[in-house]
Amino acid sequence: MEKKTVGLSGAFKGNTAPKSFTKSSIKGTKFTIAISSAKGGVGKSTFAMNFALALKSTGSKVGILDADIYGPSLPKMMSIKEKPKSEDGKSLIPINQYGAQCMSIGFLVDEETPMIWRGPMVTSAIKTFTQKVLWKDLDFIVIDMPPGTGDTQLTFAQEIKVDGVIIVSTPQEIALLDVKRGIKMFDKLKVPILGLVDNMSFFKSEEGKNYNIFGEGGVEKVANDYEKKFLGKIPINIDLRIAADSGKPLFEKNPDHEISKIFKNIANKIKESFL
Amino acid sequence: MEKKTVGLSGAFKGNTAPKSFTKSSIKGTKFTIAISSAKGGVGKSTFAMNFALALKSTGSKVGILDADIYGPSLPKMMSIKEKPKSEDGKSLIPINQYGAQCMSIGFLVDEETPMIWRGPMVTSAIKTFTQKVLWKDLDFIVIDMPPGTGDTQLTFAQEIKVDGVIIVSTPQEIALLDVKRGIKMFDKLKVPILGLVDNMSFFKSEEGKNYNIFGEGGVEKVANDYEKKFLGKIPINIDLRIAADSGKPLFEKNPDHEISKIFKNIANKIKESFL
């Protein structure tokens, strides 16, 4: 990086990686699993909800924390319209839906209100959600991370004991660049990477023809190149999108759907790695 | 918002909207057009590059500023591997490619290096790119914005005279939520919205059947509901993705492609609104 940098101020060259931080688990939870993508729009939230519900179906107690302050998807995808209660005016009680404990900034503001916030406000919101929410007896908390490699990622990596991260991506080259940046970030911040998922892998038309709309095999190749586990492919599936839009994730709607089985399979793999 | 907020600290309730700011044009440019999406992964960068080249083909001098610090796409999409020169060690000379002046954080660091930066560093980078780059005699500078409603958006809205923003989205419900948040943000920050684009509108199989993979008509409906201009639909097209991955945008590769014609049409509409 030094070599290539031209004409930027000294501040830009500073190493912003953490030196030493005290990391705590999120209270009321055993294991924290972050779902990340670096690039947005790869189906990360859809993955997070279905994965969490698949994890729950294995007999674990599961919570979902929507950490995407700028673009919360959980309220819509999980059909939650109520606001969380607070008994002492300081802590928040998560909302139970489909058997999972849920929290999102979207519970606290109107659906269409943009959070026009600079970084420190985002950090403050993340701290509230990890320190002031009364998660109860969870085996796993699944964190739906925002895209990027900024404030939210740094806050989690520096202050919270994240037990593992799953990186989701579509297979086109331009998305893979973001995957590589994500892998390097988590490696640098010493957050274990549980594996990579190839999402929107291909599209099968009614005539049975497969179209590699976003390219082919890219995520698996990156996993191999970086010596990370490859967790599987999820095809583009209209049922999956319709279920997300309808407020009931496909796994909840139809656990026997071929796509649900892929989620179950990934959930089993992840669960095994924590036993 | 007040009504629904429960148990959050006072800081959260503060109105972070700008009060009064001095906005300046980007030096060396006439009009600044931001390409925004609130949600990531909707094809915003692909749109930005092809739109800028289409605008160029109408006879305008065009620059492209990649403002996505966490996930720069311009170097890859425009095949730029060199680093920008500086004559005085302070300012940067943009790189000419396909007849457009280009700048990206990706020119200054290795392709796979993640920018693990908190908000203030991002703001500082944006200021460098808007104040210290020697853009020359541009009619239009096209800004490829990052997703979200955070530091980069606020910095542009408060300190730079943005003449208009084009909002790009895919049509699924969950993405439309982000579009609505984006519209509200730009309205609140008083940045004019030039119009909305429905991207990855549908997929046409070889058998000629159209699949509404991401839903149908959603963006146009939002445009109508919010009294914004609807600029058009761009279908999912494998040529468009392959061209982006190959480092030569489709408009440059084949200006007569059916998709290129859509970009030309949108470019003409936008140009007219500035004449």
- Full pLDDT tens readout for chain B, 275 residues: 344 444 444 444 444 444 567 888 999 999 999 999 878 889 999 999 999 999 999 999 999 999 999 999 999 999 999 999 999 999 999 999 999 999 999 999 998 899 999 999 999 999 999 999 999 999 999 999 999 899 999 999 999 999 999 999 999 988 999 999 999 999 999 999 999 999 999 999 999 999 999 988 899 999 999 999 999 999 999 999 999 999 999 999 999 999 999 999 999 999 999 97
Both structure tokens of A166: 């799953």
- Indicate the range of A4-8, A154-158, B23-27 predicted with least confidence: A4-8
Question: In this complex, do A238 and B213 lie within 8 Å of one another by their Cβ atoms?
Answer: yes
Q: Which of residues 190-229 of A touch B (CB under 8 A)?
A: 203, 205-207, 209, 211-215
Q: Name the residue facing A205 among B5, B70, B205 (closest C-beta).
A: B205
* Alpha-carbon gap: A164 to the closest alpha carbon of chain B (Å): 18
Chain B residue numbers touching A118 (CB-CB < 8 A): 16, 119, 123, 150-151, 154
Backbone angles phi, psi at A252, to 5 degrees: -75, -40
Contact A17, A153 (CB under 8 A): no
Contacting A residues, span 80-99, partner chain B, CB-CB under 8 Å: 83-86, 88-92
CA distance B40 to chain A (A): 4
pLDDT given at position A41: 87
Q: Which residues of A touch B12 (CB under 8 A)?
A: 121, 124-125, 128
Are the beta carbons of A42 and B38 separated by less than 8 Å? no
Contact A174 B132 (CB under 8 A): no
Residue A62 touches chain B, beta carbons under 8 Å: no
When pLDDT is averaged across residues A26-40 and rounded to a whole number, the result is 93
**What secondary structure letter does DSSP report for B191?**
P
The pair phi, psi for residue B254, each rounded to 5°, is -150, 85
Distance from CA of B170 to the nearest CA of A (A): 9
Give the number of beta-carbon pairs within 8 Å between A and B: 259
Mutate to test the interface with B, among A49, A118, A207 (most CBs of B within 10 A): A118
Radius of gyration of chain B (CA): 19
Q: Do A128 and B9 touch (CB under 8 A)?
A: yes
For residues A238-253, average pLDDT:
95
Decide if B7 and A76 are in contact by the 8 Å CB cutoff: no
- Report which of B209, B257, B254 is spatially closest to residue B234, judged by C-alpha positions: B257
Side chain identity at residue B50, one-letter code: N
Could you read off the pLDDT of B27-62 as tens digits, one per residue? 999 999 999 987 888 999 999 999 999 999 999 999
Give me the interface pTM, i.e. the ipTM.
Answer: 0.84
Q: Parallel, antiparallel, or unpaired for β B193-204 and B164-169?
A: parallel
C-alpha to C-alpha distances, B5 to A63, B41, B210, nearest whole angstrom: 21, 30, 44
* Whether A211 and B170 lie within 8 Å, measured CB to CB: no
Token pair in block for residue B67: 């403002």
Give the H/E segment covering residue B166: strand B164-169
Question: What's the pLDDT tens digit per position in A101-143?
Answer: 999 999 999 988 999 999 999 999 999 999 999 999 999 999 9
Contact of A150 with B70, CB cutoff 8 Å: yes
Find chain B residues with C-beta within 8 A of A128's C-beta: 8-9, 12
Pair A135, B10: CB distance under 8 Å = no
CA-wise closest residue to A251 among A107, A96, A77, A135: A77
Assign A76 to helix, strand or coil.
helix
Whether the CB-CB separation of A155 and A18 falls below 8 Å is answered with: no
Q: Which two tokens stand for residue B117?
A: 């930066």
Residue B268 near residue B58, CB atoms below 8 Å: yes
> For residue B1, how many other CB atoms are within 10 A of its CB?
12
For residue A85, give the DSSP letter. Answer: P
Interface contact flag, A73 B177, Cβ < 8 Å? yes
Residues of chain A contacting B83 with CB distance shorter than 8 Å: 4, 6
Q: What are phi and psi of A210, to 5 degrees?
A: -90, 130
Contact A114 B185 (CB under 8 A): yes
Interface check B77 vs A, CB under 8 A? yes
Query: Cα separation of B254 and B240, whole Å?
Result: 10
In B, residues 246-275, which contact A (CB 8 Å cutoff)?
A: none
Nearest to A71 among B148, B154, B188 (CB): B148
pTM of the model: 0.88
CA nearest to B165, candidates B20, B37, B46, B17 = B37
Pick B178's closest partner by Cβ from A42, A71, A91.
Answer: A71
Residue of A nearest to B184 (CA): A114
